[in-house]
Structure 1
Amino acid sequence: MAFGFRKFNCKYASTLALLSAGAFLLLNSQAWATAPTKNASGVNLSKSNVGDTTLQIAAEPRTGVNRRVQFARGRSSTTIKGAVPLGKKDTYIFRARKGQTIITEVVWEGDRVGGDNDDQGLSGFSFVWPNGEVFQDPQDGYFEATSTGDYRVVVAQPYKLTSSRYTFKLTIR
């Protein structure tokens, strides 16, 4: 009995393997991307070129928590405990009226890895006005609402810390 073998083309086999892996990743909503880019809707994407084929895979989102802050009835202050890994962001959205004072404080539980722990450094949060203007790493947590609308605080590790846990306190007067 004779067996025949066909010539095996590695280029097409690797393309087929990547397409199969891409389908698996898309079906499982996961991807291991090395060079993410954002599409028009803000979703991170990874492109892999193999021969004449471009495979676009949805990558893991670079955001963590995205939530609206609600105060308990009769209260003007709230404390939120969270954790955000390096490279991710937690976003807190809240409403304030023009002229109100907004007081924010983010306290990290961990110590700075490979740095001077006595150094004040970066605050680890950004304050965003309703018009989209961003105040990056403010050292003072007092802001006056310049207009009525939705404000945001975006919390992100300013550098590698021994713990990703933080406490975010928000007061509006």
Structure 2
Amino acid sequence: MVGVLLFCSIGGIMLSKEITELLFERGQFSPKDTLITSQVFSLYLLGLLPFGLTKLFSLWLYAKLEQKKAAKISLISLFLGLAASLSLMPLLGVLGLALANSLSGLFLFVLTIKAFGFQAFLGIIKPLKLWLVILFLACAEILLLLAFKSLITHLYLFYYFQGF
């Protein structure tokens, strides 16, 4: 699960401009709007991994009948996210809101892991071979995306102007 979330985050961040262009850039949606939207998208993707892992570990809390603890963690994270939003929004605008959301996910993850137990969590993520494989695949993904990013863009533009 960590690998899938990490690979989706990396791919989404690296291709955020192209994804935004493909989905939205037409009519009144200008290249400037594409740039802003792709930056917001990238900042939201930073929170994909912590939110995904939190979902997994929060299910453990529910299975252990600790709904009250899970609700308390969510409430604390909500207020920390609100504080982050209110402090980052004046500085960064819409980018601050996206970053605050990702930070809120990180707060939620840390609090959930604290309830799960740091030692138990470290026991799960201990296998070094798994991390080496994930690191290797993440680096390979980055290299492949860097190599083929311009090709993907050119193919998109070719088909776009052909009327497909």
State the TM-score, normalized to the length of structure 1: 0.24
State the TM-score, normalized to the length of structure 2: 0.25
Structure having the larger proportion of residues in helix: 2
Q: Structure with the greater relative contact order (CA < 8 A, sep ≥ 6): 1 or 2?
A: 2
Q: Whose Rg is larger?
A: 1
